[in-house]
Amino acid sequence: MKLREQTVALKGGGTALLRSPGPADAAVVLDLMRRTSDETHFLAREGDEISLTEAQEAAFLAQVLDHPGQLELLALVDGVPAGECGLDLVRDTRRCRHRAELGIAILRDYWDRGLGTAMVRACLEAAVGAGFEQVELGVCADNPRAIRTYEKLGFRAVGTIPRAYKLADGSCRDEIQMVYIIK
């Protein structure tokens, strides 16, 4: 699905343009994925685990634009790529088509400016428009900033997966499962 472009004001000044990336944005999206994955342990992957080629990412982004149950969102702050967010079916079966899964990644330089809130709100609005009945996500238990944001937006914790992430140093982090009920 394609997001209607929107511009949002950020804390501390500046604006962010939220839009659906297309095939021409493949290199930008891959770069964001790698950079955000390397900046923090809050994501489920390391940057070097992203093995998609630019052509593969372009094909994926083209397919998403036409899929009613998928959304990709690119955030540009004052014209600079700052984050990406996605919404996808949990599973494409009749029993699960009412559920969407949300993922988000923002470069550290843009944290604490309201960008994540704006991006998640845009995804929730798209989920409502697409007919989803709930949106789910997993968040690292040691990421209180993100947890507060999700709670503020109406998500609630429904469980914890212990030791969900194993970091390079051997330590583990729990993942909190959260859900936003639409209807």
For residue 129, give the H/E element and its range: helix 115-129
Summarised one tens digit per residue, pLDDT across range 129-162 is: 999 999 999 999 999 999 999 999 999 999 999 9
pLDDT for 163 equals: 98
Determine how β-strand 134-140 pairs with β-strand 99-106. Answer: parallel
pLDDT at 104: 98
pLDDT of residue 43: 94
**15-19 vs 6-9, strand pairing mode:** antiparallel
1 found inside a domain: no
Flag whether 138 is in a domain: yes
3-state secondary structure at position 162: strand
pTM: 0.94
Please state the domain count of the chain: 1
pLDDT tens digit sequence for 87-105: 999 999 999 999 999 999 9
CATH code of the domain in which 85 resides:
3.40.630.30
Residue 148 CB contacts under 8 Å (≥ 6 apart), including other chains: none
Domain contains 75: yes
pLDDT > 90? residue 51 = yes
What's the mean per-residue pLDDT of the chain? 96
Q: How far, in Å, CA of 37 to CA of 148, rounded?
A: 21
